[in-house]
Chains A and B, each alone.
Chain A
Amino acid sequence: MSTKPAAARNRNRLAALWGTQSLRRITQFGFLAMIVAGVVRHTLSEDSTSPEAVCPFGGLETLYSYFTTGGTISHTHLSNLVLLGAVVLLTLLARGAFCGWICPFGTIQEWVNSLSRWLQARIKPLGRAARALRRAARRPIFGTIDRVLSYGRYVVLATIIGGTVAYGSMVFRDYDPWSALISVAEFELTAGAVILGVVLLASLVVERPWCRYACPLGATIGLVGRLSPMRIQREDSACTGCTLCTHRCPMGIDVAASSEITDMRCISCLQCVDSCVHPEALDLRLSIPLTTK
């Protein structure tokens, strides 16, 4: 029997609602719901806004065309450019927050991984297999592979930008899993649909595989985010070295081994901060430039 009075339990629930992860999940759900509503509307009526018109990466793909010809390439509009601007501003202010708080594709990968963990906790053989896999993944060689594969994002980004400038069209569209997902009602087996399937399957065992290894928008955000004054700081004097933060990071960043989390893979989900048992050891802080200590 619980010894806590009901009023205290309700207060705790209210406090948890204002917790970082609750706020983040509510935000993620809101943006995903908007996209789902847009996809349904566009499927029912082609005259409604295409979900492609609200993809910030479309803005990056059409940027060169906009500055050189004043027009946008096929399937992109001014809205894509505005969203790209919004993402750049957000990244300058809040680092990787678009990936961790807004991006619907990141949210879907997170949910698939959460579903996998939920099943692992209830189906014992699955749980044992997953634990064995995680133990094997702690070998240094997998750390190196993870690190090397994470540069794949920049290769994808450079290929798309180069291809788009050279051909003046969305060269990535047929391979884009997000494009395949928002066109799911068309039931077409495209390369993008195959990649989408691979990403969703991989999400069962790896957190955010697309974000980690292939997302060109994530690569752009990582580069722009270097200029952001927002960062997670770790105080060595308060840190017990438990490495809970490192294990909780969905992007595989070794948080416990850094004094400032400025890694370009950081998606600002703040799960490391939330997992820390000493609130003063890990903290989200806003640096104020030109104010020396």
Chain B
Amino acid sequence: MATDPPRRQVAPTAQRRWRSLHMPAPLYAALVLAAFLGTIQLAQIAGFWSTSGKITLDGAPVEVTGADPAEVKGWMTISDVLGAYGLTQDELYTHYQIPADLPTSAALKDIEAIAPEFSVTDLRVWLAERAAQP
């Protein structure tokens, strides 16, 4: 006589604490898209959205003021920093051993590949130390 194959040991159904509803796949997909894209859309409508450090929350272009070294970003140029923080090109280039032929129109983030001593983080620290000196 044929017998049924042995049944694998499975966990018994636990007592459920709360009622639950079946969730159809299309509704689940719609929920996933609505929750994710809806949050992004709401943030954009509220103005809480920026994908670049070059623009402020109000949509105005960010400019280096020279007041706080923390504002220095990798996309800023050497000349931006020289002008705002009262540095000479020679001071900066000597301190970080930057090749003299590098134009001051270069972005700070591009210096990292040329001068191993340089990093934007280190530049911020150096500028803050200079500002703290009497």
A residues apposed to B, CB below 8 Å: 18-20, 23-24, 27, 49-50, 53-54, 69, 71-72, 74, 77-79, 82-83, 85-87, 89-90, 93-94, 97-98, 101-102, 169, 230, 233-237, 239-243, 256-260, 270, 283-293
Contacts and interface: CB of A to CB of B under 8 A. Distances in A.
Contacts of B57: 78
Main secondary structure of the interface of A (DSSP, over half): mixed
Interface string B21-46: 11101101101110111011001000
A241 B8 contact: yes
Contact of B50 (A24, A77, A240): A77
A192 B100 CA distance: 32
Nearest to A69: B70
- Nearest 9 pairs of A and B residues by beta carbon: A241-B8, A86-B39, A20-B25, A53-B51, A285-B20, A236-B13, A82-B43, A259-B14, A49-B51
B21 to A, nearest CB: 5
Given A78-B49, A83-B40, A90-B32, A18 B20 contact: no
Contacts of B104: none
A289 B18 CA distance: 6
B36 A90 contact: yes
A239 B18 contact: no
Contacts of B37: 86
A227 B71 CA distance: 38
Interface residues of B, number: 41
8 contacts: A19-B25, A23-B25, A53-B52, A78-B43, A234-B11, A257-B10, A285-B20, A285-B21
Given A102-B36, A283-B22, A286-B20, A24 B29 contact: yes
Name, among B16, B28, B53, the residue most crowded by chain A CB atoms within 10 Å (CB to CB): B28
Contact of A239 (B10, B16, B19, B70): B10
Interface string B62-86: 0000000010011000000000000
B50 A78 contact: yes
B58 to A, nearest CB: 12
A259 B13 contact: yes
Nearest to B9: A241
Contact of A85 (B14, B43, B51): B43
A72 B52 CA distance: 11
Contacts of B14: 259-260
B25 A18 contact: yes
Contacts of B21: 285-286, 288
A242 B5 CA distance: 10
A283 B57 CA distance: 45
B10 A77 contact: no
B97 interface: no
A69 B69 CA distance: 14
Given A101-B29, A270-B28, 8 more contacts: A23-B29, A78-B48, A78-B49, A94-B32, A235-B13, A286-B20, A287-B20, A293-B18
A53 B54 CA distance: 13
B22 A258 contact: no
B51 A77 contact: yes
